Chain A
């Protein structure tokens, strides 16, 4: 039981490049989330999903897209990376009620030059 896994662990992009971050969970959770964490600002919600095939915007969705084609996977895409997207990205999942505990992945550190 691996819990929540994220790939890659670290990536460097040039401004304008695109990439996809992958999150996978093996707990059969309905809810999945993408957060970014920046110094002094805490974790901020980018997008989330309440089930396979559904996505919704969070607090800071601009510049990101997501897809949830399979229940266990949640993809975060950056179509044209900007230096402001340099951050640490965390994926999380929780059960079928929003009050249930969210379990986090180990994070992806992204540097956009």
Chain B
């Protein structure tokens, strides 16, 4: 059965303290691995799509990478405004995106 697991559930960092969020997946026929950011009381906001192992994408302090079993969202020198829930999701060509339960990130000044 296809599934995706995000870890940790919650992460607290000090401003400037770099870290990584993990998205492990077991999916047959992966056609895309997506990362979204969700702020409290708002809808998910698209960050990245990765299509094949070895692919990397960057946006400001965020960098997403993909292997055959997992994806990482690396956060370099985070700021308090990076605090949010980060969601990963996969697409196999059936139905729609399937989401993980997310990682709640809190960055303290």
Contacts and interface: CB of A to CB of B under 8 A. Distances in A.
Interface of A: 4, 31, 33, 35, 40-45, 48, 56, 58-59, 90, 92, 98-99, 101-107
Contacts of A106: 42-43
Contacts of B93: 98-99
Q: Find the residue from A48, A56, A104 having the highest chain B CB count within 10 A.
A: A104
Interface residues of B, number: 24
B45 A43 contact: no
Contacts of A58: 95-96
Interface in B59-109: 87, 89, 91, 93, 95-102
A42 B87 contact: yes
Q: For chain A, what secondary structure do more than half of its interface residues adopt (helix, strand, loop), or is it mixed?
A: strand
B8 interface: no
B43 A107 contact: yes
B101 A41 contact: yes
A67 to B, nearest CB: 18
B31 interface: yes
A37 to B, nearest CB: 9
A40 B101 contact: yes
Given A42-B99, A42-B102, A45-B96, A98 B46 contact: no
A98 B42 contact: no
B31 A43 contact: no
Given A42-B87, A99-B91, A104 B44 contact: yes
Given A48-B96, A99-B49, A104-B45, 16 more contacts: A35-B99, A41-B101, A43-B44, A43-B99, A45-B96, A45-B98, A58-B96, A59-B98, A92-B43, A98-B91, A99-B93, A101-B49, A102-B34, A102-B97, A103-B46, A105-B43
Interface string B9-47: 000000000000000000000011010100001111110
A64 to B, nearest CB: 15
Contacts of B100: 42
